Amino acid sequence: MREQIHITDVSPRDGLQNQALHVDTQAKLELIGLLVDAGVRSVEATSFVSPKAVPQMADAAELVPLVRGRWPELRTSVLVPNLKGLERARLAGAEEIAVVLSATETMNRKNINMGLDEALDVSEQTLRQALAAGLRTRAYVAVAFECPFEGLTPLDEVVRLAQRMHAAGAHEIVIADTIGAAAPGQVRQRFAALREAVPLEQLAVHLHDTRGLGAANAWAALESGVRRFDASAGGIGGCPFAPGAAGNLATEDLVLMAQNSGLDTGIDLQALMQAVAFAERQLQRPLGGRSSAWLRRQ
Ligand code: HMG
Ligand code: MG
């Protein structure tokens, strides 16, 4: 049997959070349905954040019960920045939450209006309460390579925060290259340190593809032993509060790379391209990862 990698498609959350065109709840459901049809078993569906900060995610409380009702087997994570977000997520029936902690002072302030110490404290409290309520948990360590405000992020700080998230009980610690600034050698170096500090099977990587190195970075993470990946259908995505953050590593690029390297993702590429085509119609612009032009000709 081929070795498996686990992919969380974050296109409904990271992909849609920063789009100029509004995408309604029914269209989000349709997108998630197409991802499920393609074999995606885990999505990040939405976020319970301030609707003033991120208007595209204002329908989170309506979307989650619809997704949970329609696809009970689908792992459905939702991003929550604080205890209020957790409370809203629980009321909506979420079974998995993700907290977001940035590894620099300025990025936390810009993203969630807290300093690093407060963001760490709030993330820990949110994780503990989520665990007590029986939820699955993910913890992002954002700007884990470079911060758009503070430059190169010290590796020691990334390791310290990953350890704290692990100690607070996060099931998955998601090391995020928020602005897509990483290179493969750095990915190797950072995961070599991280896997000494946190169990490797609990580490995930969330890559943005700003400089075209997303797939190369994913390969470096694979070679470092990481088997959990975030990616976004069509490569859509980007944090509205991190200048210069382009789209995520495209799910189709990751699947193509993994599949042709003998790894199993459970995702059918041609079916996945239906989800990409749907997102294109919704957002009214061409989308797709670096492999998508070739994939469309198959
Ligand atoms: P704040 O203004 O400091 O919050 O915002 P506050 O506690 O002072 O409250 C202000 C208002 O927001 C109050 O309402 C609160 O009730 C409300 P009002 O009295 O004015 O009517 N509020 C909330 N409403 C809904 N849901 C909540 C919530 N919390 C407070 N959870 C806050 C702080 C965190 C809310 C705000 O800064 C925020 O929502 N930020 C959004 C952050 C975000 O979504 N960023 C993008 C996702 S992170 C990302 O993309 C990176 C990632 O992909 C990994 C990577 O690539 O690195 C994950
Ligand atoms: Mg992101």
User: Percent helix, strand and coil across the chain, each rounded to 5?
Assistant: 45, 20, 35
Identify whether the C-beta of residue 282 lies closer than 8 Å to the C-beta of residue 26: no
Ligand 1 interacting residues, C-beta cut-off 6 A: 14, 17, 47-50, 53-54, 79, 81-82, 84-85, 88, 100, 111-113, 140, 142, 176, 178, 206, 208, 239, 241
Q: DSSP characters for 10-38?
A: -IIIIITTT-SS---HHHHHHHHHHHHHT
**In one letter, which amino acid is 133?**
A
- DSSP conformation class of 180: S
Q: Which residue of 14, 50, 110, 173 sits with most ligand 1 atoms within 8 Å of its CB, as the best mutation to test the pocket?
A: 50
Mind listing the pLDDT tens digit for each residue in 158-174? Answer: 999 999 999 999 999 99
Rounded CA-CA distance 29/203 in Å is: 28
- Which is catalytic among the residues 161, 239, 256, 258? 239
User: What pLDDT is stored for residue 244 in this prediction?
Assistant: 83
Question: Confidence class of residue 27 from pLDDT cuts 50, 70 and 90?
Answer: very high
Q: Which residue of 46, 49, 59, 161 sits with most ligand 1 atoms within 8 Å of its CB, as the best mutation to test the pocket?
A: 49
Concerning whether 147 is annotated as a catalytic residue, the answer is no
Q: Identify the sign of the CA torsion 265, 268, 274, 280.
A: positive
Q: Over 80: is that where the pLDDT of 1 sits?
A: no
Element (H, E) at 296: helix 292-297
Helix or strand or coil: residue 278? helix
Q: Over 90: is that where the pLDDT of 245 sits?
A: no
| CA of 49 relative to ligand 1 center, distance in Å | 4
Q: Over 90: is that where the pLDDT of 57 sits?
A: yes
Mind listing the pLDDT tens digit for each residue in 183-238? Answer: 999 999 999 999 999 999 999 999 999 999 999 999 999 999 999 999 999 999 99
User: Which atom of ligand 1 lies nearest, measured to the CA of 81?
Assistant: 34
Query: Nearest-CA neighbor of 48 among 14, 89, 16?
Result: 89
Query: Nearest-CA neighbor of 30 among 274, 235, 199, 245?
Result: 274
Q: Over 80: is that where the pLDDT of 88 sits?
A: yes
The predicted model gives 292-298 an average pLDDT of 93
The predicted model gives 14-42 an average pLDDT of 97
Rounded CA-CA distance 114/18 in Å is: 21
Q: Over 80: is that where the pLDDT of 254 sits?
A: yes
The predicted model gives 262-281 an average pLDDT of 97
Query: Nearest-CA neighbor of 50 among 114, 1, 132?
Result: 114
Tokens of 177: 């290259």
Q: Over 80: is that where the pLDDT of 117 sits?
A: yes
Q: DSSP characters for 185-237?
A: HHHHHHHHHHHHHS-GGGEEEEEB-TTS-HHHHHHHHHHTT--EEEEBGGG--
The predicted model gives 106-120 an average pLDDT of 98
Residue nearest to atom 53 of ligand 1 (CA): 14
**Mean pLDDT rounded to a whole number for the chain:** 97
User: What pLDDT is stored for residue 269 in this prediction?
Assistant: 97
What is this model's ipTM? 0.98
Rounded CA-CA distance 36/292 in Å is: 19
